[in-house]
Amino acid sequence: MCSVPRSLWLGCSSVAESLCALRCLQSIPSTRLSNGPVVGSRKRPSEGNYEKEKEHCIALFDQWSEADQVEFVERLISRMCHYQHGHINSYLKPMLQRDFITALPAQGLDHIAENILSFLDARSLCSAELVCKEWQRVISEGMLWKKLIERMVRTDPLWKGLSERHQWEKYLFKNRTSEVPPNSYYHSLYPKIIQDIETIEANWRCGRHNLQRIQCRSENSKGVYCLQYDDDKIISGLRDNSIKIWDKQSLECLKILTGHTGSVLCLQYDERVIVTGSSDSTVRVWEVTTGEVLNTLIHHNEAVLHLRFANGLMVTCSKDRSIAVWDMASPTDISLRRVLVGHRAAVNVVDFDDKYIVSASGDRTIKVWSTSTCEFVRTLNGHKRGIACLQYRDRLVVSGSSDNTIRLWDIECGACLRVLEGHEELVRCIRFDNKRIVSGAYDGKIKVWDLQAALDPRAPASTLCLRTLVEHSGRVFRLQFDEFQIISSSHDDTILIWDFLNVSTNGQSEGRSPSRTYTYISR
């Protein structure tokens, strides 16, 4: 044991006394503890024999195996004091560091170095380029800025949309050829993309947009009840019993489909077919390119108010208070699987995924059903009046009602997460993505809401509505939106395209933009 009196190292009441005790410790001769390091001061360097003894030790050390060398050094270190350990640690630290990004290419493993750096985000990639010339070379020859942009395009719809609209998509997802620009092109492209994204987000927040208007009216038409669009076309269902297909660029009417004997209240299309529901109680299936009627489903007793189809399954709902679940083997082979009954009023809207079918009704309730078994699961209660619209995705249901409110629900537990207030009349249509909720109402207004803030119980209600857009002169019946635009239809017989990407700022007031109008008069 150490012979230092306890009073020396426990009884120190000041820094000065502690330093004095330390000097006393250093003056005590070194005493090796059993199986432990030496306690005490450093020994004086050996006299004349030190160099010879050192060389002899090194010569012996070099003759031993690696395992023996390690064991010897461990025993040697165990005999040293704390100061010596610190000195050795400082000596070893730089020896243990490895610049693997520089070392890997030297071993012919450039691809591994590139793969490691390809996981960096933009800020880290910028920093990595400044480390040294070798790191910069790996990033440049590995086209890592190109790979970063490609990763964003694959995972983010906003990036994908910008790549298509600004036509730099043609420089992505290609092997190294003469057509592919150098890495410096992608390095300079990245901040431009970020600037475009920030501009689009600012346009959404401030309501800046370019407005295009399609006039759909004819002698007996009084509204555009439903629509869906893609990059090339807009397909709309009208009160005059027709389906009109519009060119999205020129806004001209390309085709008119007729056959329903009542207003076209709902529709959905994919690359093969258009499926429509009507107040004539039927569901019709049309071929997209030719407009030919492929199938007519007669089941519901009253108007078909809404429908959805995906992955061989279709769900329709009706004013007759029922929900029909259909198997779609092909456009001409559609069979009724099950009828779901439980609502006490017209079923206005349905949505579904692989797990749940969700329906909303004029009876003020939202009902959840199992997609696989069609069995009832639960009811979501909260709206004070009938429910006109909803969308369901993942765990979230967003609904709009004639009580003028929007509610957010957790479908798994049935809890209402938030109530959004602001519309002055019935909320007729609603859509949401990862960032926003967009709603349209009978007050003629379209409101843009912050979805993430709405899901945060700490967010004040006053911060949730980002913008109110007012251009329709009648009730808003249907809308759809993406990262760049909203397309809406109304009782005023118009389809409006609200473009938040291509916004001209010359001489415009905030939230208003010049409009281009195309009028179609049916013969």
With residue 306 as reference, give the H or E element that holds it: strand 304-310
Q: What is the pLDDT of residue 43?
A: 54
Q: What is the pLDDT of residue 416?
A: 97
Confidence of residue 48 (pLDDT cuts 50, 70, 90): low
- Count the Cβ atoms, other than its own, within 10 Å of residue 362: 20
The rounded distance, in Å, linking the Cα atoms of 350 and 352 is 7
Phi–psi pair at 39, nearest 5 degrees = -105, 130
Q: What is the pLDDT of residue 9?
A: 42
3-state secondary structure (DSSP) of residue 351: strand
- The letter for the amino acid at 468 is T
Q: What is the pLDDT of residue 144?
A: 93
Q: How far is CA 320 from CA 281, 303, 456, in A?
A: 9, 7, 38
The rounded distance, in Å, linking the Cα atoms of 170 and 363 is 52
- The structure tokens listed for 428 are 């007729």
Using the 8-state DSSP alphabet, how is residue 431 labeled? E
Q: What is the pLDDT of residue 105?
A: 86
- The structure tokens listed for 308 are 């959805």
Contacts of 253 (CB under 8 A, 6+ apart): 244, 245, 246, 247, 520
Q: Based on the number of CB atoms within 10 Å of its own CB, is 451 exposed (0-12), middle (13-18) or buried (19 or more)?
A: buried
Phi–psi pair at 138, nearest 5 degrees = -60, -45
User: For 402-459, how does the pLDDT look when each residue is reduced to its tens digit (9 = 90+)?
Assistant: 999 999 999 999 999 999 999 999 999 999 999 999 999 999 999 999 999 999 999 9
Residue (of 226, 401, 216, 384) closest to 305 by Cα position: 226
Phi–psi pair at 454, nearest 5 degrees = -65, -30
Minimum mean pLDDT range among 175-179, 221-225, 397-401 = 175-179
Q: What share of the chain is helix, strand, coil (3-state, %, to 5)?
A: 30, 35, 35
Q: What is the pLDDT of residue 67?
A: 94
Q: Based on the number of CB atoms within 10 Å of its own CB, is 503 exposed (0-12), middle (13-18) or buried (19 or more)?
A: middle
Residue 44 or residue 301, greater confidence = 301
Residue 28 has pLDDT above 80, yes or no: no
Phi–psi pair at 117, nearest 5 degrees = -70, -20
Helices (H), 108-180: 110-117, 122-129, 133-141, 144-155, 157-165
Q: Determine the average pLDDT of the residues in 183-211.
A: 94
Residue 37 has pLDDT above 50, yes or no: no
Residue (of 467, 506, 502) closest to 485 by Cα position: 502
User: For 334-376, how does the pLDDT look when each residue is reduced to its tens digit (9 = 90+)?
Assistant: 999 999 999 999 999 999 999 999 999 999 999 999 999 999 9
Question: Average model confidence (pLDDT) for the chain?
Answer: 88
Q: Strand 210-215 to strand 515-519: parallel, antiparallel, or no bridges (unpaired)?
A: parallel
- Residue 200 CA neighbour count, 13 Å, CB half: 21
The rounded distance, in Å, linking the Cα atoms of 113 and 274 is 50
Residue (of 396, 359, 362) closest to 378 by Cα position: 359
Q: What is the pLDDT of residue 101?
A: 86
Say if CB 223 and CB 474 are below 8 A apart: yes
Residue 16 or residue 315, greater confidence = 315
Q: Is this model's pTM higher than 0.85 or not?
A: no
The rounded distance, in Å, linking the Cα atoms of 327 and 295 is 14
Residue 171 or residue 446, greater confidence = 446
The rounded distance, in Å, linking the Cα atoms of 195 and 254 is 36
Residue (of 397, 402, 400, 399) closest to 386 by Cα position: 402
Residue 152 has pLDDT above 80, yes or no: yes
Confidence of residue 10 (pLDDT cuts 50, 70, 90): very low
The rounded distance, in Å, linking the Cα atoms of 273 and 331 is 7
Q: How far is CA 414 from CA 83, 358, 378, 386, 405, in A?
A: 65, 12, 8, 18, 17
Q: Determine the average pLDDT of the residues in 501-515.
A: 59
Say if CB 338 and CB 299 are below 8 A apart: no
**In percent, how much of the chain has pLDDT > 90?**
74
Longest dimension (CA), the chain: 117
The rounded distance, in Å, linking the Cα atoms of 299 and 191 is 56
